[in-house]
Amino acid sequence: MENDNPTILHFKFDVSTFRLLGRELITDRITALFELVKNCYDANAENVQLTFENLNPLCPESRIIIEDNGLGMSFEDIRDKWMVIGTSSKRRNRTSPAPYNRVVAGKKGVGRFAVDKLGGKLVMKTKKKGSPVWHCLETDWTKYAEEEKHQLELDFENSSEQQKLFTDFDNKYWTEPAEVEVQGTRLEISGLNDAWLEKDIIRAYRELSKIVKPSSNSKYPFNIRFKVPEYVEYNDKTVESIVLAEATLSFALKYRKDEKTGMFYQEYLVENKGALEIKEKEAELFGPIGFTLYYYDKAGKKKFTKDDRIDGIKVYRDGIIATPFAEYKSSRDEQKDLFGIDKRRWSGFFEKLSTRDILGWVDITDELNPEIKDSTNRQDFVDNKEWNALKDFVINQIRQIELYLKHKKDSKKKENAEKLKSADKDIDDIKQRISNIKSQSLLVSPEIDSELNDIANKLETIKETVSASSKDYEQMEADRRQQENIMFSLVSLQAYAGQISHILRISIGIIKRSAEFVAKWIPLRQKTEKSVMHARKIFDEMNNLSKAMDFMLSYAEDDSTFEFFSVKEAVAELFEDRYKLLFEEETIQADYVLDDDFELSYNKKAFQDMFGNLIDNSVKALRNTKDKRIRCTVFRENGNLVLLFSDNGPGVPNEIRDRIFDVFYTTTADLGGAGLGLYIVRTRLNSIKGTISLEPNEFKPTGATFKITIPLIH
């Protein structure tokens, strides 16, 4: 019955535009395959089979067949949808038909372009349930390519040959008999563009294994099966979701909606004294998300056949992976680290996790996270506030796990040290028992006695060794801490030097060009006013440089090594000694609150200078306030030392809140402000992984409150 009713169908679009679009949208073969499989998903298919035949070397029999048992198409669908580019029905319906209600994955309707990326010729067979026939369509781009080449060679102006504006190529349509109950679509692509090597199949397999989340519900499964006779390992192989071998740690953070208020609440992880707790807070501006995170230690990683299956955190939108799609890079270094997990500073320095240690996914939905959008090149997300907030959230969650692991490691160390110490006692205990045995003289023969003496002597030797080891261990720990401190101080100096040289370079540039200006125009007796202005600027800028230099010197003079010092003492010195007179002169009521004392490993003078800066700012801010107040509160929070510093001055106007930490940003130029203070506080803090931020004012009705956090490393 084949070919008994051949008809000719025409595409209703310009073929060259079609191909151009296709090439831009689908950048590589794996992405193409990915898009076609997504189409199967959208069509409610439960099973997809990918057959690769005669892949290498290419021959007329080379083909890729994609078969699914999805909804299929009617003749009208083919004529009015498949053949008409740009009127994707998918855009109108955001979910696939019930009962699957899958959120449509192939949003941009690019599946049809994908075929072109794989090969020049397509035979499609498709049918809906109830139809007695398969609808078959053959499209042959290879013919088109010849014509395209011919047309490109034509001379623009002097050609007698008529150019074709629209290319009317014949697409053969016919039907074949079928069982009524069967449904599905079969795409047979031949005229392949490239040979497929085993590594390409591996890539395809690996990328497709990411398409549906491992925990996706199985009521309406989505199975992908590979058939590759040439590569035995992938022949008759079902694509398994990324293997979740027993992870060392795993978390599933959810969200909930308060039915009364309609508010969303987000679960998040927080490390608290060696325990990881799940807490809840109002959803952030990117909207509520699900976040599943697996951490693998060395033993956990061994369960993966190849550890590169552990590759960081991905984003799934409505159950299907969002960007970066199937972008595969043979070199791991080029692989996209969406959240910047590996880019974090001091990587590997303070127990940072990398994308090779964690595997996870962020679940977003179109409905609840509308601002997390794919960028137009489909390689990333649109860089907006929401996406940045989401990145911060994810990084912070990883940080909590790092803190937890660090705590665990530290307590393990402590435990070992304890055991070593108690070994000493155990030996004494054994010795005591031996002498007990010896004292029961009836039981002890001279041979046994001598044997026991020997054991006792050996035990004594062991005891000495154990006690020496215990001391060594303690010494080693002390050395290690010392080394860490030196490294830490070096790293922080390095970062600080980098930032200071940024300031210097800008300042020097300004001075240089102003001097150049004066030298050029004064002799010409032109631009006199401006010359005077620039001469003055040289002076002002030089003053700024001196100030920057003072800050650098405070590092150099007061030796840059870190020391343990009491925060309470350091703050008391400032309030009761260094600034006492100034507070009295300015009639400022200044007090500080410290419930507990903390030991901080840092440069004490640098620490006090930071406060000096904040105090100077407050004194200036308070100049027109009546009952002047300054307060400093110190407490511990999540392994950080937190300092709240407040005054009851006029506060920081909203419009400049984001700018006050910028270099050279000042509102008190009239009082000699150079705009360096807060910038330097911030850079210094950043260099020791601390932060400074402007918080809601403690004093009412007006005031400013700064919050400083410094990690308590040891």
Partner 1 sequence: MEEKMGVTIVYIDDDKKMKNDAFLDDIEDAVDDIKFFENPSDGLTFIKDNIDKDIVVLLDWKFNNSLMQGDKILNDINEISTLVPVIVFTGASIDATETNKMFKGCAFSCVPKDTSTKELTDTIRKAYDRIQNDIRFVMEKWILKQDVEKRSQPYMRSGDKIYTLNDILASIRKQDEFGKETTRGILRLATELFTNNMREK
Q: What is the rounded distance in angstroms from the CA atom of residue 176 to the CA atom of residue 134?
A: 5
The residue (of 466 and 515) whose beta carbon lies closer to partner 1 is 515
Does 596 interact with partner 1 (rule: CB under 8 A)?
no
For the record, the structure tokens of 260 come out as 């009364």
Rg of the chain, C-alpha, whole Å: 36
Q: Decide if 57 contacts 195 (C-beta within 8 A).
A: yes
Output the DSSP codes for 470-526: HHHHHHHHHHHHHHHHHHHHHHHHHHHHHHHHHHHHHHHHHHHHHHHHHHHHHHHT-
Which residue of 16, 223, 235, 566 would you call a contact of partner 1, by CB under 8 A? 16
What part of residues 155-214 is at the interface with partner 1 (CB under 8 A)?
156, 163-167
Q: Which is nearer to partner 1, 115 or 674 (CB)?
A: 674
In the complex with partner 1, the residue whose CB is nearer, 166 or 346, is: 166
CB-based contacts of 377, cutoff 8 Å, min separation 6: none
Among 79-87, 113-121, 145-153, 421-429, the segment contacting partner 1 (CB under 8 A)? 145-153
| Helical ranges in 1-93 per DSSP H | 15-25, 29-42, 75-77
Query: Taking CB under 8 A as the rule, does residue 578 contact partner 1?
Result: no
State which of residues 243, 468, 490, 508 lies at the interface with partner 1 (CB under 8 A): 508
Residue 323 touching partner 1 (CB under 8 A): no
Tokens of 10: 């025409």
Select from 480, 513, 623, 714 the one that contacts partner 1 (CB under 8 A).
513
Contact status: 516 vs partner 1 (CB under 8 A): yes
- Please state, in angstroms and rounded to a whole number, the distance separating the CA atoms of residues 676 and 674: 5
Amino acid identity for residue 331 in this structure = S
Q: Please tell me whether residue 468 binds partner 1 under the rule CB under 8 A.
A: no
Rounded Cα gap, residues 454 and 451, in angstroms: 5
Residues in contact with partner 1, counted by CB under 8 A, come to a total of 45
DSSP string, 273-310: TTEEEEEEEE--TT---EEEEEE--HHHHHTSSSGGG-
Please name the helix (run of DSSP H) or strand (run of DSSP E) that holds residue 50, with its range, or none: strand 47-53
Nearest CB to partner 1, comparing residues 163 and 330: 163
d(CA 388, CA 385): 5
By CB under 8 A, residue 250 contacts partner 1: no
Q: Draw the binding track, 38-67, toward partner 1 (x: CB under 8 A; -: no contact).
A: ------------------------------
Q: Binding of partner 1 at residue 12 (CB under 8 A)?
A: no
Phi and psi for 664 in degrees, rounded to 5? 65, 15
385-414: which residues touch partner 1 (CB under 8 A)? 385, 388
The residue range among 99-107, 289-297, 314-322, 655-663 that interacts with partner 1, by the rule CB under 8 A, is 655-663
Closest approach of partner 1 to the CB of residue 505, in Å: 4
658 binds partner 1 (CB under 8 A): yes
The least distance separating partner 1 from the CB of residue 514, rounded to whole angstroms, comes to 4
**Distance separating alpha carbons of residues 89 and 40, to the nearest angstrom:** 15
Q: Judged by CB under 8 A, which stretch of 71-79, 287-295, 433-441, 508-516 contacts partner 1?
A: 508-516
Q: Based on the shown chain and the rule CB under 8 A, indicate whether residue 501 belongs to the binding site for partner 1.
A: yes
Query: Which of 436, 389, 397 has its CA nearest to residue 267?
Result: 397
Does 662 help bind partner 1 (rule: CB under 8 A)?
yes
Give the contact letters, 521-550, x = binds to partner 1 (CB under 8 A), - = no. x-----x--x--xx--x-------------
Q: Which of these segments, 32-40, 233-241, 504-512, 698-706, binds partner 1 (CB under 8 A)?
A: 504-512
Q: Which of 661, 677, 706, 708 binds partner 1 (CB under 8 A)?
A: 661
The piece of 10-18, 319-327, 328-336, 566-574 that touches partner 1 (CB under 8 A) is 10-18
- Cα dihedral 481/486/489/493 (nearest 10): -160
In three-state secondary structure terms, 180 is coil
Where do the H-state alpha helices sit in 107-197?
Answer: 111-118, 141-152
The window from 224-232, 233-241, 382-390, 601-609 that contacts partner 1 (CB under 8 A) reads: 382-390
Site membership for partner 1, residue 384 (CB under 8 A): yes
CA trace torsion 538, 544, 550, 553 (10° rounding)? -70
How many degrees, rounded to 5, is the angle at CA 691 between CA 255 and CA 705?
Answer: 90
Interacting residues toward partner 1 by CB under 8 A: 14-17, 20, 148, 151-152, 156, 163-167, 383-385, 388, 498, 501-503, 505-506, 508-510, 512-514, 516-517, 520-521, 527, 530, 533-534, 537, 658-659, 661-664
